[in-house]
Amino acid sequence: MAGLPGGLMAVVQEHWGFRQLRPMQERAIAAVLAKRDSLVVLPTGGGKSLCYQAPAVYRHAGGSKGVTLIVSPLIALMKDQVDSLQRIGVNAIGFNSSQTASEKAAAVQSLKTGTAPIVFASPERLTLEGFTGYLNGFGVSAVAIDEAHCISQWGHDFRPEYRKLGRLREVFPGASIHAYTATATETVRLDIARQLQLDDPEILVGNFDRPNLIYRVLPRLDKTKQVREVLDRHRGHAAIVYCLSRANVDALAAQLRGAGYHALGYHAGMNNEDRRSAQETFTNAEAPIVVATVAFGMGIDRPDVRCVVHVGMPKSIENYQQEAGRAGRDGLPSECVLLYSGADKIQLRSMIEKSAHEAAGRGEVVAAEFVPACLGHLEDMDRYARGAVCRHKALVQHFGQTLDAPTCGACDLCLGDVTEVPDALTVAQKILSCVARVKESFGVGHVVSVLHGDRSEAVTLRRHDQLSTHGLLREISLNTLRDWVYQLLGQGALAQSEGEYPVLKLTKLSWEVMHGRHAVRLIELVRHDRERPARRGAAPTGGRSSGTTPLLGASYDADLFEKLRQLRRDLATAEKVPAYRVLPDSVLLAFAASPPKTLDAMRQVTGVGDVKLKAYGATFLQAILGHAPAAALAVVVARKPASSSPRDAAARRKLAFSMFRDATYIEDVVQQLDVARSTAVGYLVEFIEAEKPKEISRWVRDEDYVEIASAAQTHGRETLKTIYDALEEQVTYDEIRLVLTHQNATR
């Protein structure tokens, strides 16, 4: 391997079980071994920790003296990393305020005997002259600063204690300095290098795209229902749900527990013991759900989180990238859902300004640029949430990179989860006209009530039921109407007054829209089959009895996988460690996809090092050899690049027809063929036209079929919207299209 000593890969394979390094890891490790300062930006799951851990272990194995000091921001994260290293045969130690006297004595003894190549410490501890002087006595060859973005006031997670790390250059003059972070724009990168006084650093910036993540930004309509829908797609797997406030955390966690979910709450308002218990339960349990504020997460090293849900917009794209990035750190497909409302921007802006005002009131120095910078981050995040660009493409562009694929096949826009309102300008004009008719004196709720045609006391007492705008949008649900108002607020086509009871105000842009001189964009959710009530006796949408999400882009024995997970769970319980510390999901799936027959074959699986093989190899091999293969393999599909090849399209169409002959659900076709839902529906329309099936109850419920056919006879078949309006949105456009196609085909 160019630039790296041959023995390094032997160390990596022995302890971590990797047969090769990623290109960026090679360059980062080479910088450490060459004692050249570096700044490494790799997304969560990109393998940052190996960049500073592997050189330290390699040097120690070769007899080099000196330790690598790792600066870690949280005690929980420090303890987690120390434990992880010790379980793969690396004697790492840490110094923190939670240690007992015996634990501290053991750490000191490891330093004195030279058996510990890696030492963890917090930024606060490094401000103690006695501690840094003590470490210098053992020789510090390299300093690695984890979560280095915390040192920059322009970053998303600035921590004052990190500012003092600039003195490390003087404290450890013989050591190279290395900064690592998952999220940093060019401005933040330059600030990190300046604050840490990096000397001609090797600056390495990895690819910010996380192809295994599915990003969705959906209008927040019924948050509890929407959160449950996401969690249900990932039954049996770990999940994090982020809320904006402590009150929201407590309420949502209670609602989920009441509905039978194993949900824990976590926020800064809880006492230390409750927070510690929640974090340990999440870390150690097989699949709990944590509902939390952003106070939760940095200390979590769990790789098998399958979904992260934000019930509200984060303060910046950097925050979102880091928080959402806690999903799928093992590289397996996972889902990140942001439930967005235009109200989030208003609430967060108020929180930022209030926080700065209170800090100034306490006599703290707040840089003049700080609040504008925070509001700029907020504007970027809001623009992302409202955007019409592929989510993967938008995220990497924010960090100065590009994504060339025409479609990612792994976000709400590319998957067809949301759609643009076709007559958005007309809808916006009706909303703005209503604001004008109520004389810009009422809030969102009242304006929505008037547009919806409500005759509540608040509306009739003011004679607003007599306005020309009363009931103009009565066919639209209240939740959707409210969301559209907030979308207009986000685009500047409406404004809100300050104060406890904000009212809607027209802006200069409002009049441009009302006169048709400025276009607006409104989006709404596309209703999927899975949102419809299930037919009696029908299998769950998705076709998998477990209800879980796809995990691997290949065939695997699902029964064997579950058997190995149970074995892992039992071993973890006996050892009192998190299950993923035994072996990660990626390894178990590899075993289930191609069951090894010998320990040597097992050792060839990425993630199985010598230490893990010795500890668990025989136990798992016995389970694999004693398993009777399933009659049929579970086939799951991870994201693949979209293809425009006619041959591929023809093959997919042919396979879709075959699946429809077997009465396969639309959503299963979407997942197994890796196509947009609109494409799958198109295939089904062609299938119905070509093969004229006697009935289509697999895709449209019989009662809905009857209602659609009746409405078509009464109101005509010229437009789908006529039938859709007549049935008061109780069916989807896709269902109408399928029924009309079937009627035409079978006449």
pLDDT tens, residue by residue, 67-101: 999 998 877 778 888 988 999 999 999 988 778 88
Task: Tell me if domain 6-205 and domain 555-635 are identical in fold.
Answer: no
Write the CA distances from 214 to 306, 384, 408, integer angstroms: 10, 15, 9
Say whether pLDDT at 464 is over 90. Answer: yes
**Three-state DSSP class for residue 537:** coil
Three-state helix/strand/coil letters over 152-182: CCCCCCCCHHHHHHHHHHHHCCCCEEEEEEC
Mark 276-314 as b/e (b = at least 16 C-beta within 10 Å). eebbeebbbbbbbbbbbbbbbbbbbbbbbbbbbbbbbbb
What's the pLDDT band for 390 if we cut at 50, 70, 90? confident
Average pLDDT of span 212-241: 90
Say whether pLDDT at 451 is over 60. Answer: yes
What's the pLDDT band for 741 if we cut at 50, 70, 90? very high
Write the CA distances from 42 to 180, 241, 425, 676, integer angstroms: 8, 24, 42, 30
Q: 514-518, 584-588, 653-657 — which is least confidently predicted?
A: 653-657
706 within 8 A of 727, measured Cβ to Cβ: no
Q: What is the DSSP letter of 77?
A: H
Domains of the chain: which residue ranges? 6-205, 213-410, 420-525, 555-635, 646-746
546 closest CA partner among 233, 175, 159, 254: 233
What's the pLDDT band for 343 if we cut at 50, 70, 90? confident
* Residues β-bridged to residue 240: 290, 308
Query: How many CB atoms are closer than 10 A to CB 214?
Result: 28
What's the pLDDT band for 428 if we cut at 50, 70, 90? very high
Tell me, what's the pLDDT at 679?
Answer: 79
Tell me, what's the pLDDT at 178?
Answer: 96
The C-alpha R_g of the chain, in whole angstroms, comes to: 29
Higher pLDDT, 191 or 359: 191
Q: In the structure encoding, which two tokens stand for residue 387, read together?
A: 């955007």
What's the pLDDT band for 527 if we cut at 50, 70, 90? low
Average pLDDT of span 236-247: 90
pLDDT tens, residue by residue, 701-719: 877 888 898 888 888 877 7
Q: What residues contact residue 286 under an 8 Å CB cut-off, 6+ apart?
A: 238, 565, 569, 579
pLDDT tens, residue by residue, 173-190: 889 999 999 877 788 888
Query: How many CB atoms are closer than 10 A to CB 662?
Result: 8
Measure the CA–CA gap between 341 and 339, rounded to whole angstroms: 7
118 closest CA partner among 201, 11, 244: 11
Q: pLDDT exceeding 90 applies to what percent of the chain?
A: 34
- CATH 1.10.10 applies to domain 646-746: yes
Say whether pLDDT at 253 is over 90. Answer: yes
Pick the CATH number of 6-205 from 3.40.50.300, 3.30.70.1350, 3.30.565.10, 3.30.460.80: 3.40.50.300
Average pLDDT of span 526-552: 37
Mark 124-145 as b/e (b = at least 16 C-beta within 10 Å). ebbeeeeebeebeeeebbbbbb
What's the pLDDT band for 543 if we cut at 50, 70, 90? very low
Backbone φ and ψ for 41, nearest 5 degrees, come out as -115, 105
Measure the CA–CA gap between 434 and 448, rounded to whole angstroms: 9
What count of Cα atoms within 13 Å lies in the side-chain half-sphere of residue 411? 23
Say whether pLDDT at 629 is over 70. Answer: no
- pTM, 2 dp: 0.68
Q: What is the DSSP letter of 466?
A: G
90 within 8 A of 120, measured Cβ to Cβ: no
- DSSP sequence for 555-573: EE-HHHHHHHHHHHHHHHH
pLDDT tens, residue by residue, 659-677: 788 777 787 677 667 677 7
pLDDT tens, residue by residue, 331-340: 888 999 999 8
Q: In the structure encoding, which two tokens stand for residue 114, read together?
A: 């030279």
Say whether pLDDT at 613 is over 60. Answer: yes
Largest CA distance in the chain: 91
What's the pLDDT band for 286 if we cut at 50, 70, 90? low
Q: What is the DSSP letter of 716?
A: -
Measure the CA–CA gap between 744 and 747, rounded to whole angstroms: 6
User: For all residues of the chain together, what is the average pLDDT?
Assistant: 84
Angle between helices 610-625 and 6-16 (to 10 degrees): 50
Cα 44 to its chain centre, rounded Å, is 11
Tell me, what's the pLDDT at 648?
Answer: 58
Tell me, what's the pLDDT at 537?
Answer: 27
Say whether pLDDT at 535 is over 60. Answer: no
309 within 8 A of 339, measured Cβ to Cβ: yes
Residue whose pair of structure tokens reads 């074959």 in the numeric block: 601
Average pLDDT of span 560-585: 88
Angle between helices 444-452 and 478-490 (to 10 degrees): 130
Tell me, what's the pLDDT at 529?
Answer: 42
Say whether pLDDT at 1 is over 50. Answer: no
Measure the CA–CA gap between 30 and 53, rounded to whole angstroms: 12
616 within 8 A of 582, measured Cβ to Cβ: yes
Handedness of CA 73, 79, 80, 84 (dihedral sign): positive
What count of Cα atoms within 13 Å lies in the side-chain half-sphere of residue 243? 20
Residue whose pair of structure tokens reads 């600066």 in the numeric block: 71
Please give the CATH architecture assigned to the domain spanning 555-635. Answer: Orthogonal Bundle (1.10)
21 closest CA partner among 157, 290, 213, 204: 204
Mark 596-620 as b/e (b = at least 16 C-beta within 10 Å). beeeeebbebbbbbbbbbebbbeeb
Tell me, what's the pLDDT at 298?
Answer: 63
Q: 118-122, 150-154, 511-515, 542-546 — which is least confidently predicted?
A: 542-546
Measure the CA–CA gap between 418 and 412, rounded to whole angstroms: 6
283 within 8 A of 578, measured Cβ to Cβ: yes
Average pLDDT of span 613-632: 84
Say whether pLDDT at 235 is over 50. Answer: yes
Average pLDDT of span 546-560: 57
Tell me, what's the pLDDT at 483?
Answer: 82
Handedness of CA 374, 375, 381, 385 (dihedral sign): positive
Q: For the domain covering 420-525, report its CATH number.
A: 1.10.10.10
Write the CA distances from 360 to 116, 352, 366, integer angstroms: 45, 12, 7
506 closest CA partner among 424, 435, 445, 443: 435
Say whether pLDDT at 62 is over 70. Answer: yes
Measure the CA–CA gap between 628 and 523, rounded to whole angstroms: 50
Say whether pLDDT at 644 is over 50. Answer: no
Say whether pLDDT at 638 is over 50. Answer: no
What's the pLDDT band for 154 if we cut at 50, 70, 90? low
Measure the CA–CA gap between 240 and 719, rounded to whole angstroms: 43
Measure the CA–CA gap between 166 and 197, rounded to whole angstroms: 6
Three-state helix/strand/coil letters over 84-142: HHHHCCCCEEEECCCCCHHHHHHHHHHHHHCCCCEEEECCCHHHCHHHHHHHHCCCEEE
Q: In the structure encoding, which two tokens stand for residue 242, read together?
A: 């982020």
Which of 287-296, 348-357, 617-626 is the most confident on average? 617-626
Average pLDDT of span 270-288: 79
Tell me, what's the pLDDT at 641?
Answer: 41
Class of domain 213-410: alpha beta
Tell me, what's the pLDDT at 530?
Answer: 39
Q: What residues contact residue 352 under an 8 Å CB cut-off, 6+ apart?
A: 315, 371, 374, 375, 378
Average pLDDT of span 681-696: 89
